[in-house]
Amino acid sequence: MALSVEVAELAEIFMWLNEKQATSLKKEKLNAASEEIADIFLYLLRLSDTLGIDLIEATDEKMKKNIEKY
pTM of the predicted protein model: 0.85
Q: Give per-residue pLDDT as tens, 23-51.
A: 999 999 999 999 999 999 999 999 999 99
- pLDDT, residue 55, reads 95
Q: Give per-residue pLDDT as tens, 1-24.
A: 899 999 999 999 999 999 999 999
| CATH, range 2-69 | 1.10.287.1080
Beta-carbon contacts of residue 43 (< 8 Å; ≥ 6 apart): 2, 3, 6
Q: What is the dihedral of CA 51, 57, 58, 62, to 10 degrees?
A: 180
